[in-house]
Structure 1
Amino acid sequence: MLRWLIAILFLANMLAFVVMRGVFGPTPTAGGREPNHLIRQIHPEWLKVQPVASSDAADQPVVGGPAPAAPIAASVLPQ
């Protein structure tokens, strides 16, 4: 029983290896990703990258910095 399981796993491994080597053709991830999005773009040259202004950068999180304190007020609930 265990021999058959090992044999089946070995054959499945060999099949996966052969498929990834491209014996049956190129893999689906070999080409460009979602080329339809590039074709459907309207005026991509109009897009402009702008740096973040210092006034807008105040609300940007700092990676590795301390977590900001939540602006909430707590009070004792009446009983």
Structure 2
Amino acid sequence: MLRWLVAILFLANLLAFALASGLFGVLPASGEREPSHLNRQLHPDWLTVKPISAADAADQPVVGGPAPVAPVQASTLTQ
């Protein structure tokens, strides 16, 4: 019984792969979803990318680096 379940799931995965890869033709939803979105932009050429300076980079977290130590002061509790 488990063999049939595995075989059915395998065939379902093959069918899903065939649909996603376009074997049966282009899906209707694969076209442009918002074709007028790019036409409504006012000045797309005004967008510029600038590198961040060293002062701005100080606030950025370093991926893969050690976690920063929180500035917390500890004291003994009085009873």
Question: Would you say same fold, with TM above 0.5?
Answer: yes
Larger relative helix fraction: 1
Deviating runs (4+, > 4 A) in structure 1? Answer: 27-37
Where relative contact order (Cα < 8 A, 6+ residues apart) is larger, the structure is 1
Q: Which runs of 5+ in 2 are unaligned?
A: none
The 5 A counterparts of 1:1-79 are 1-2=1-2, 4-27=4-27, 37-79=37-79
TM-score normalised according to structure 1 size: 0.57
| Structure 2: distance between partners of 1:76 and 1:37 | 61
Identity of paired residues, percent? 66
Q: Which runs of 5+ in 1 are unaligned?
A: none
| Structure 1: distance between partners of 2:32 and 2:78 | 62
TM-score normalised according to structure 2 size: 0.57
